[in-house]
Amino acid sequence: MLASYFKFQENRTNLRIETGAGITTFMTMAYIIFVQPAVLSGQMFGMDTGMDFGAVMMATCLAGALATFIMGIYANYPIAQAPGMGENFFFVFSVIPAAATLIATREWQGAPQPGRSPSGVVFIAGVIFLILSLLKVRQYLIDAISPSLKNGIAVGIGLFISFIGLKNAGIIVGSSGTLVTMTGSIAHANVLVFGIGFIVMIIFQVRKIRGAILWGIAAGLIVALILKKTTFTGFVSSPPALTPTFFKMDVLHALAFKLWPLIIIFLFMDIFDTIGTLIGVGEQAGFIKDNKLPRAGKALISDAVGTVTGAVMGTSTVTSFIESTAGIS
């Protein structure tokens, strides 16, 4: 049944391969489970936005899981979904301060005065996003993009993700003269973890060993454990409560005229972030046929439903993850 529904033979794959690919995609994007609540709660920046860390983590997991399930079952694409990097920083550093300036409050969830709802802004943008997807407006945008630009978008996203990886690994650091420069601490533990994991990944990839990226992650984990950069304190615990962020957005007051520019910005970011990712993943996987992505409408709907659900649960815009290419490869 699974082989027939997911067209295993047509896609030259099987259940074992797909399971390994799914695990690989999850491992490459699992950072969002911890990064997202750290960003939205403000813990990453030593500030307090009022959003509960545990609740945002649960919202991130549930919204991402639901959107990914719809993408896999309804759209039949191996493209994972979760709250996107970029939108979360924009939410904390632009939307919340903007609401504070316009409505004189830093509350994220809303209050009985016009415009006090950055979370409601995400919800409204998501609803508009869903309507545009149902009307196939976004699908027309994808079809209208030329093949050369589709390739360019894929390369651009790849360079962006590579840059983030090198920055987080400590390979490149900030510089007052050139904005970024290469680190002078090659022997630093973080660099060693990255370097060994990356080398293993490259060797396995060149030798065409399936699951090369997953093996590279495993190698990095082993090095991190040896260097005591990673420790385990437990594998299972009860999940945090979703209550502090669940249904806390104030949609009515988020419709205030002053906040409509923010709604439009979120909508714009979500549309082109998703289109760029779908094109990038589709190009690598060979899904693009005659300069069109089959079932693009279904893929876009799953993305939009994820955004709406995520806002209800208490997280920022849910979008397709370029890390899906790791599992596809």
Asked which of 46-60, 95-109, 158-172, 248-262 is least confident by mean pLDDT, the reply is: 95-109
pLDDT category of residue 111 using cuts at 50, 70 and 90: very low
pLDDT category of residue 110 using cuts at 50, 70 and 90: very low
Q: Tell me the average pLDDT across 35-45.
A: 89
Q: What is the DSSP letter of 207?
A: T
> What is the tens place of the pLDDT at every residue in 115-148?
334 678 888 888 998 898 888 787 777 778 787 8
Six-digit token string for 15: 């259940």
Among 183, 210, 212, 208, smallest CA distance to 197 is for: 212
* Contact present, 116 and 250 (Cβ < 8 Å): yes
Q: Give Dmax (Cα) for the chain.
A: 61
Q: Tell me the average pLDDT across 57-62.
A: 95
**Which distant-in-sequence residues (6+ apart) come within 8 Å of 97 by Cβ?**
106
Q: Is the pLDDT of residue 107 over 60?
A: no
> What is the tens place of the pLDDT at every residue in 210-219?
888 889 989 9
Among 185, 204, 211, 209, smallest CA distance to 20 is for: 211
For residue 313, give the H/E element and its range: helix 296-313
Q: Please report the DSSP string for 240-300 in residue order.
A: PPSTTTTT---HHHHT-GGGHHHHHHHHHHHHHHHHHHHHHHHHHHT--BTTB-TTHHHHH
**Which distant-in-sequence residues (6+ apart) come within 8 Å of 139 by Cβ?**
133, 296, 297, 300
CA dist., res. 204 & res. 313, Å (int): 40
Residue 74 is predicted with a pLDDT of 94
pLDDT category of residue 100 using cuts at 50, 70 and 90: low
CA dist., res. 33 & res. 36, Å (int): 6
